[in-house]
Amino acid sequence: MPDQSIPEAHTPALEEGASDPAPFGEGLSRRKLLSTAGATGLVLGAAGGAVGYTARPAEAAPLTSLGADQVMFHGKHQPGITEGLQARGHLVAFDLAAGAGRKEAAALLRRWSRTARRLMAGEAATQDDTDVARDAGPSSLTVTFGFGHSFFARTGLEKQRPASLDPLPDFSSDHLDKKRSDGDLWVQIGANDALVAFHALRAIQKDAGSAARVRWQMNGFNRSPGATSHPMTARNLMGQIDGTRNPKPAEPDFDLRIFVPSSGSNDPSWMANGSYAVVRRIRMLLDDWEKLSVKDQEGVIGRRKSDGAALSGGTETTDMDLEKTDAQGDLVVPINAHARITRPDQNGGAAMLRRPFSYHDGFDGDGVPDAGLLFVCWQADPLRGFVPVQRKLDRGDALSRFIRHEASGLFAVPGGAAEGEYVGQGLLEG
């Protein structure tokens, strides 16, 4: 965990050229339905959900900012990369069905893009909407699509496979379950409302129809926006502030580190403005971690647990003094501290944008929690971003005793779709 963080068959009428039917009866969008709810007596609670019907018409309360916040689907980059952490997330990988190839993949990405655009706008799915999110607004929903290494052979597009998508090397901390790793296609879903996120997951899975089947799926969460008195860096399940040194979009070299340039790159042209996502399911051995004193936990990380400040002093954003020693002459930030090892200036400038979700999948037979981090990091080149940092962590990270990497995937995430286009169109129709 580098210290860098911010099926059901589809209907042929939904293929290219089909028009989107009106989502609600008389052509009302969910947004318009909400705005006119007062005329029908529907009352919205403070959180934006329907709480009942009054005996007489009443004015509808507006959606709170949590529900009303909307992310645009079309743009230079795909959504779900630079946006803030969302309260709920789903990661799901698909494999193309036997006999499905480039044509079927293109039709699938067209359906998925249409559905993602509608749901992110707070509208119903194109066909057979389940009404799970009927009362909610967009809730910062994002849907992001990527291609795995195996996708290119399945579709006859091997010559378009980026060199940066070569399989990740083996790491000593790996205990990987192959059934929960990799995949032809990858979808990341995030939202600030759990029902909105699930609604999108179900719609995407139904849209896959007979073209693809789920390979694996994982559920995650973060702190809800507004749960703290002021905006702050997230905490993980170890209780540590996690993401202090994440690259910031305002930094002059941010795009160079995170996104594939539109020219002057070794990547194929269809990856322009795209990025590479490394996905790891990292189990935290919480019973062992929680036996440590707070002081020992801070020594493992190299930062104070209370406020995320480096052990060398200052605030969370104060630069870490790697040479500072205590009265005994020992380094204040231990030589094997996680935050020291993962610093870009200790890894040849290697940087990545971390955008993870925490997860908890219950307890095993001994009562040990199956919990940890759904680690998702973004970079322009994983061989210069994730790989060198993880190799260094393998050689002596103090945190490695308390985590276990159990699943892994690397996905090429193309740039955003322009109006009237779908994600991956440059690859699948180029």
Helix (H), strand (E) at residue 298: helix 294-301
Written as one string, the DSSP assignment of 343-368 is -GGGTTT---EE--EEEEEEE-TTS-
Tokens 């190799």 locate to 391
Cα–Cα distance measured from residue 410 to residue 383, given in angstroms and rounded to the nearest whole number: 11
Burial 320-353 (b: 16+ CB within 10 A, else e): bebeeeeeeeebbbbebbbbbbbbbeebeebbbb
Give me the phi and psi of 108, to 5 degrees please.
Answer: -65, -45
Written as one string, the DSSP assignment of 227-291 is SSSS----B-TTS-B--TT---TTSTTHHHHHS--SSS-SS-GGGTT-EEEEEEEEEE-HHHHTT
Q: 412, 390, 413, 414: which is closest to 403 by C-alpha?
A: 390
Tokens 């192959």 locate to 178
- Quick one: 213 exposed, middle or buried, by C-beta within 10 A (0-12, 13-18, 19+)? middle
What is residue 108's DSSP assignment? H
Known catalytic residues are 242
Give me the phi and psi of 403, to 5 degrees please.
Answer: -140, 160
Question: Are 115 and 124 spatial neighbours (Cβ–Cβ below 8 Å)?
Answer: no
Give me the phi and psi of 72, to 5 degrees please.
Answer: -75, 135
The total of other beta-carbon atoms located within 10 Å of residue 377's CB is 27
Cα–Cα distance measured from residue 282 to residue 409, given in angstroms and rounded to the nearest whole number: 12
Question: Are 192 and 140 spatial neighbours (Cβ–Cβ below 8 Å)?
Answer: yes
Q: Helices 194-207 and 102-120 sit at what angle, rounded to 10 degrees?
A: 160
With the CA atoms of 231, 233, 237 and 238 taken in that order, what torsion angle do they form, in degrees rounded to the nearest 10? -130
